[in-house]
Amino acid sequence: MTAAALIPAPDAIPVMWGWLEVLLIGTFVAHILLMNAVVGGAVVCLVRSVVSPRGAVVHEVSHALPTLFALTVNFGVAPLLFAQMLYGQFFYTSSVLMAVYWLSVVFLAIAAYSGLYVFSYKQDVWAHARWVLALVCMVLLFMGFIFTNNMTLMLRPEAWQAYFAGGDHMGGTILNLQDPALLPRYLHFMLAAVAVGGLTLALLFTLRVRRGMAPEQAAPHIRFGMQWFTICTGVQLLVGSAFLGSLPHDIRLLFLGGSSFQTGALAVALTCVAITLHYSVRNRVVPTAVSLIATVTAMAVVRAALRTAYLEPYFSVESLPVHADYSPMVMFLLAFAAGLLCIYYMIRLAFRPGREG
């Protein structure tokens, strides 16, 4: 049986694929930025809890993490749904093949969310609270590994044949471990998250200054956060180079001059990284954050181009049948806008002077 024969027939979509791809990239950027803040913030908080268990950094970050985690989960729903609409025949198949791990994400997320709350409320009174945070960090990193497996397994229908080679007992336990790009890709994402943890710390104390904290009191924490971000981003560039080198030869060449779009997208992303580092080494927090958003957006476009290159032998998103009905998209955009306004209002309430975030 060939790999192509294992791919289910695609479902029709209600609007042209371009609209859904733009929405997929846009919502993914929001989700990944929040995810980075949670994972990186948890790692930074864990490191600082060893050095200064009751310091300002631990207190500030630990109280922000549960809220950030809730936003991460909510903002993760939309890109997942858009990915299913455009690439459902690949995504659903890979999810079924690794269903044991994929379904465990729900329980792992609940455990991590609960652990963040436990640490937030007990870190001042419980000497061993940092062990809870250490477990949370491990759970978050494992969740990232599961997601990386699914998002790469869906791109490799030839790997699906492991189900038939291993018999029925393989159902639900297949991972994409034979892919040489899996580990570099995973490390690339996780190092980015750890880097953003430093920037999250700097942003939190920048906000504290605007709410009345003395600048000289916040300055050491802002400087630490920016240094953390800069160093981790530098390391991530090395891992990103390894990730590029681990890609199949024909796909790698597309990003190294073989395709004007893929090469141009990568060039724009690397330019954004250079601008971000330019601001971060100068401890300019807000410009760094703004340029980071541009960087993540450019990287999301590169990610979409990479997905297209992987699936090209089997599928082209332009070939999806369209049964035109724009009303669901309009309703989604209205609900999404209303949700953003509600979230903005709640965050304003939470960060009012005299209230805990």
CATH of the domain at 226: 1.20.1630.10
Please report whether residue 341 resides in a domain.
Answer: no
Q: How many domains does the chain have?
A: 1
Q: What percent of the chain has pLDDT over 70?
A: 96
Please report whether residue 103 resides in a domain.
Answer: yes
3-state SS track over 152-177:
HHCCCHHHHHHHHHHCHHHCCCCCCC
Per-position b or e across 253-277, b if 16+ CB within 10 A of its CB: ebbeeebeebbebbebbbebbebbb
Please report whether residue 38 resides in a domain.
Answer: yes
Please report whether residue 345 resides in a domain.
Answer: no
Digit-coded pLDDT (tens) for 252-282: 999 999 999 999 999 999 999 999 999 999 9
Please report whether residue 333 resides in a domain.
Answer: no
Which domain, by its residues, includes 106? Answer: 12-313
- For the chain, the C-alpha Rg in angstroms (whole number) is 21
Which residues, including other chains, have CB under 8 Å from residue 231's CB and lie 6 or more apart? none
Closest by CA to 37, choosing from 222, 180, 198, is 198
C-alpha dihedral (164, 169, 172, 174), degrees to nearest 10: -60
Residue 49: its pLDDT value, please? 86
Please report whether residue 289 resides in a domain.
Answer: yes
13: β partners: 322
Q: How far apart are CA 254 and CA 183, in angstroms?
A: 21
Please report whether residue 113 resides in a domain.
Answer: yes
Digit-coded pLDDT (tens) for 314-341: 999 998 998 888 888 899 889 889 988 9
112: phi then psi, degrees, rounded to nearest 5: -65, -40
56: phi then psi, degrees, rounded to nearest 5: -65, -35
Please report whether residue 86 resides in a domain.
Answer: yes
Confidence at 57, pLDDT banded by 50, 70, 90: confident
Digit-coded pLDDT (tens) for 93-140: 999 999 999 999 999 999 999 999 999 888 877 778 889 999 999 999
Digit-coded pLDDT (tens) for 152-200: 999 999 999 888 776 555 668 899 999 999 999 999 999 999 999 999 9
